[in-house]
Amino acid sequence: MVARIAEDVGVAWAERDITDDAALTAQWAEYVPVVLVDGEVHGWFRVDEARLRKALSPSTAPPGPATPSGS
């Protein structure tokens, strides 16, 4: 579902297998699946399609800086 939604809204995503990393397993084992959006926990256990679609939609994303920092 996450792959389909990300493709629909045109954003990149990555799947991580926590069993490959002891620290991730310790942190997230009780919450799988866990979905992070921009590094923040969006949800766990179940993926709410409408909520995830809204969070990933460019029209609801917070605006970025008008110019690159340092310019």
Instruction: Name the domain count of the chain.
Output: 1
User: What number of residues does the chain have?
Assistant: 71
Q: Is residue 66 part of a domain?
A: no
Q: Is residue 41 part of a domain?
A: yes
Structural domain that includes position 33: 2-60
Q: Quote the pTM value.
A: 0.68
Per-residue burial over 27-51, b if 16 or more Cβ lie within 10 Å, else e, is ebeeeeebbeeeeeebbeeeeeeee
Q: What is the Cα–Cα distance from 24 to 66, expressed in whole angstroms?
A: 35
Q: What is the Cα–Cα distance from 67 to 57, expressed in whole angstroms?
A: 22
Classify the phi-psi angles of 38: left when phi > 0, otherwise alpha if psi is within -120 to 50, otherwise beta: left
Q: Is residue 68 part of a domain?
A: no
Q: Is residue 14 part of a domain?
A: yes
Q: Is residue 65 part of a domain?
A: no
Residues 18-58: tens digit of each pLDDT: 999 999 999 999 998 999 999 899 998 889 999 999 999 87
Instruction: Name the DSSP letter for residue 29.
Output: G
